[in-house]
Amino acid sequence: MEAYRFAEGAAPLLVSAPHVGTDIPADLANGMTEAALAVPDTDWHIDRLYDFAAGLGASTIFATQSRTVIDLNRPADGTQLYPGASNTELCPLSTFEEQPIYRAGRGPDKAEIDRRVARVWRPYHDKIAAELARIKAQRGVALLFDAHSIKSVLPRFFQGKLPDFNLGSGNGTSCAPELMDRLAAICRGAAGYTTAVNGRFKGGAITRHFGRPAENIHAVQLELAQSTYMNEAPPFAYRPDLADGVQPVLKRLLEAMLDWARMRRA
């Protein structure tokens, strides 16, 4: 059960996509519903959308396993990210549309959850930690960009239509304020798109855990509305006509992070 695809770059930036995976091992799939096997809650096409990252010199880590198996952006102990709001579990029991993931009596027990943590969650997080440590040792500063997307209308999690760009830094705890200000200005200056900063999506377990500004490790999450680049209904097709508009904005975000890092080292 491979947890990720990784490529090392020369720049002080790691781009993570923990929800792009669609694989479900056969032994787990046997106990899942048809709704779950369609993996509807995938961050579809994120690897394609950020295919420019390697050209900027960024390292990349893309999950291979579906979040239906285990959510790499949740704490391993199952702590809720958003107390008081609707949350999905470390090993989700329902889809975003509140359809059951498991057939009756087939949900994971604690031993099974611990097994998935050891085989999927832990390797992904360990690789992020190792890569950020390598970057920091070589460059003096390390940046993490956690790339996500979600359906733009999901009543379970938020009212109305989600803003297009949802930047999160754990309410300012995971990156320097001036870095977030730069990124927010780029998003707000992108004509035709809407932006929120530390709104409904403030950054998940990855952003909050690895972002340590005092140690010059800065992490940012972007939750992108899927309506900006794809069809949100099955079969979830990539829309180049839409993606061609949003992709340059995403590239400017990564370029701005790298420019900021260069100034930090100057």
Residue 177: how many other CB atoms lie within 10 Å: 10
Residue 225: closest CA among 158, 165, 159: 165
> Beta strand 142-150 with 13-17: parallel, antiparallel or unpaired?
parallel
In DSSP terms, which residues pair with 16 in a beta bridge? Answer: 61, 146
> Beta strand 59-63 with 4-7: parallel, antiparallel or unpaired?
antiparallel
Residue 144: closest CA among 179, 93, 193, 188: 179
The mean pLDDT value for 194-207 works out to 95
Q: Could you give the domains of the chain?
A: 4-265 (3.40.630.40)
* pLDDT for residue 106: 96
The mean pLDDT value for 142-149 works out to 98
Residue 193: how many other CB atoms lie within 10 Å: 17
Residue 78 pLDDT > 90, yes or no? Answer: no
For residue 226, what are its two tokens? Answer: 């899927």
Under a CB-based contact definition with an 8 Å cutoff, are residues 253 and 56 in contact? no
The mean pLDDT value for 98-102 works out to 97
> Beta strand 165-168 with 217-225: parallel, antiparallel or unpaired?
antiparallel
Question: What pLDDT digit, counting tens, does each position of 203-242 carry?
Answer: 999 999 999 999 999 999 999 999 999 999 999 999 999 9
* pLDDT for residue 1: 62
User: CB burial class (10 A; 0-12, 13-18, 19+) of residue 194?
Assistant: middle
Nearest 5°: the CA angle 226, 227, 231 is 90
The secondary structure of 10-24 as a DSSP string is SSSEEEEETT---B-
Lowest mean pLDDT among 8-12, 66-70, 259-263: 259-263
For residue 87, what are its two tokens? Answer: 């949350």
Residue 182: closest CA among 260, 250, 251, 246: 260
Eight-state DSSP code of residue 118: I
* pLDDT for residue 71: 98
Residue 142: closest CA among 154, 151, 152, 130: 130
Residue 173 pLDDT > 80, yes or no? Answer: yes
